[in-house]
Amino acid sequence: MKKKKTRKPYLAGGIAAAAAGVIYASLFPLNKPIHFLLLAGLSALIGWVVYTMATGLDVSKKAPVQRPFTATGNPSVDQLVQHGLEMLSEIREENAQIPDEGLSAKIDELEDISRRIFTTVADKPEKAPQIRRFMDYYLPTVLKMLTNYRKLGERGVTGENADKMKGTVENAMDVVLDAFTKQHDQLYKADVLDVTTDVKVLETMLKQDGLLDNDLKAAKQEPQAQSLPM
C-alpha cells in the first residue's frame, strides 16, 4: 500500500524558511533591493533543504522498461505466462528492499533472463511444457529464498546461522543464474537442430547439382589464402 502524504514536510519547510529569513534580517541590513533578493533566495533554499529531508529522497529502485506480452490465444499458456510475470513482480519488490548492491544486480539479471524465457514461450506457445518445472519449482524457490533473506535483514537477525544463510543465498544466485540461462538456451535447442539439418540438406543438394565444389568450396578456402604471408 502506498503511504499517505502528510502536510508535515511542507510545514517544516515553511517554518525553516521563515526562521532563516528572521535570522538573516537580524544579522544583515535590508536597505537595498539586492538584500531582499538574498533574503528570499536563502529562505527558499533552507526551506527546500528541510522539506527534502522531511520527505526523504526517492532512492527506490526503478522497474526496468518492459515490453507488454500479447495474448497467445491459448488460455493455459497465457495463464502460465501471467503467473510467471506475477512472480517476477514479487521478486522485483523483494529486490527493492535488499540493500546489497551485488546481490541486487544479480537479481536484476535473473529477472531479465526470466522475462526472456516468458517472451520465448509467448512467441512460441508450443514450448510451454518445457518450462513447467521452471514455473512450479525453480522460480517459486528463488522468490522464497529472497523473501527469507530480506526478512532476516529487516529483523536484525545476527549470529553464525544468519550469516551462513545470507552467504548461502548470495552464492546460490550464481548457480541460479547459470541454470536459468541454460533453461533459456534449451528452449532453442530444437530450432538449432532444425537449422543444422536444413544446412546439411542444402549442402547435399548443392553437391548433387555440382555447385558446392566450384562455389562454396572456393569461398571457404578464400579466407585461408588471404591469411598466408606475402
Angle at 166 between CA 161 and CA 168, to 5 degrees: 95
> Which structural domain, as residue segments, surrounds residue 22?
8-55
Sign of CA dihedral 114, 119, 121, 122: positive
Average pLDDT over residues 59-73: 58
Looking at the domain assignment, is residue 174 inside a domain?
Answer: yes
Return the ∠ at Cα 87 (arms to 103 and 83), rounded to 5°.
Answer: 155
Lowest-confidence segment of 3-7, 115-119, 143-147 by average pLDDT: 3-7
Q: Does residue 69 lie within any of the structural domains?
A: no
pLDDT band at 161 (very low <50, low <70, confident <90, very high): confident
Res 18: pLDDT: 76
Domain count, the chain: 3
Residues 88 and 31 in one domain: no
Residues 112 and 34 grouped into a single domain: no
Cα separation, 104 vs 97, whole angstroms: 9
Cβ contact 166:152 at 8 Å: yes
pTM, 2 dp: 0.57
pLDDT at 3 over 70: no
Per-residue pLDDT averaged across 147-166, rounded? 80
Same domain, 79 and 28: no
Residues composing the chain: 230
Give 7-39 pLDDT, tens digit per residue. 556 666 677 767 766 786 777 777 777 767 776
Task: Give the count of beta carbons closer than 10 Å to the beta carbon of residue 93.
Answer: 15
